[in-house]
């Protein structure tokens, strides 16, 4: 399949997934993850009408940003080291990996605008994953009121690498429950309207459980 065919197939899968949830297909933002592909492939994704791209390394992000610039909305989806904040923070539209106070301080220091941030949560409690524990999130988000350059637009998680639907749904529904708790706080700096969850192997389940941003790599860029 070509990249164009991949995009069409994904959109059809989104329609199917949203038919059994309270979400409309237009409410789902596809973030094309381009960390493993060349700038040419990223450009091809954009040519299909995809308007959101995600990178997880500053050097790869800057390489593609130089070419595509403001043609798309940029998402930084990987762990962002504090020393690298200055290189990317004023070029991105969304940060999906806010998970520590030191990073919030650096964003506050370096940002020229308010940054839309997803707080990263390690719902599955895997040692190999970054993010706050579920029990830490409410206090962390509340304390972000001190940083006027940060807006908490949502929560983000990565599910376990498994085909077990029960495990996946538990992870995604856990983040949805946490979102409900944060929204009930009615914090001006944390509307928390979105959930960034679901990747190529599990995005349909994520949508059924409330995802509004899905991060897709291989399902978009693999061709044969």
* Per-residue pLDDT at 23: 83
192-203-194 Cα angle (round to 5): 10
pTM: 0.96
- The SS3 assignment for 64 reads helix
Query: Residue 144: which residues within 8 A CB-CB, separation 6 or more?
Result: 104, 150, 152, 189, 190
Q: Kindly report the CATH number assigned to the domain that includes residue 169.
A: 3.20.20.10
Our count of domains for the chain comes to 1
Mean pLDDT of 139-143: 98
- 53 close to 34: Cβ distance less than 8 angstroms: yes
Domain range spanning residue 178? 3-221
* Per-residue pLDDT at 211: 97
DSSP for residue 28: P
DSSP for residue 58: H
Mean pLDDT of 77-94: 97
End-to-end CA distance of the chain: 5
Question: What's the pLDDT tens digit per position in 21-67?
Answer: 778 999 999 999 999 999 999 999 999 999 999 999 999 999 999 99
Least confident stretch, 16-30, 32-46, 131-145, 186-200: 16-30
């Amino acid at each position: 399949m070509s990249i164009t065919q991949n995009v069409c197939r994904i959109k059809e899968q989104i329609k199917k997934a949203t038919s059994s949830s309270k979400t409309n297909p237009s409410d789902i933002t596809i973030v094309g993850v381009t960390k493993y592909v060349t700038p040419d492939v990223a450009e091809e994704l954009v040519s299909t009408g995809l308007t959101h791209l995600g990178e997880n390394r500053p050097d790869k992000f800057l390489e593609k940003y130089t070419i595509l610039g403001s043609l798309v909305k940029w998402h930084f989806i990987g762990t962002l080291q504090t020393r690298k904040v200055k290189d990317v923070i004023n070029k991105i539209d969304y940060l999906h990996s806010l998970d520590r106070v030191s990073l919030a301080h650096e964003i506050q220091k370096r940002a020229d605008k308010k940054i839309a941030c997803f707080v990263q949560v390690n719902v599955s409690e895997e040692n190999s994953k970054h993010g706050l524990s579920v029990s830490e999130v409410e206090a962390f988000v509340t304390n972000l009121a001190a940083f006027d350059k940060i807006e908490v637009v949502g929560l983000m998680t990565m599910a376990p690498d498994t085909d077990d639907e029960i495990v996946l749904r538990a992870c995604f529904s856990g983040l949805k429950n946490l979102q409900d708790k944060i929204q009930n706080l009615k914090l001006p700096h944390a509307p928390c309207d979105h959930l960034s969850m679901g990747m190529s192997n599990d995005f349909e389940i994520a949508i059924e459980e409330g995802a509004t941003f899905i991060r897709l790599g291989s399902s978009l860029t693999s061709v044969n």
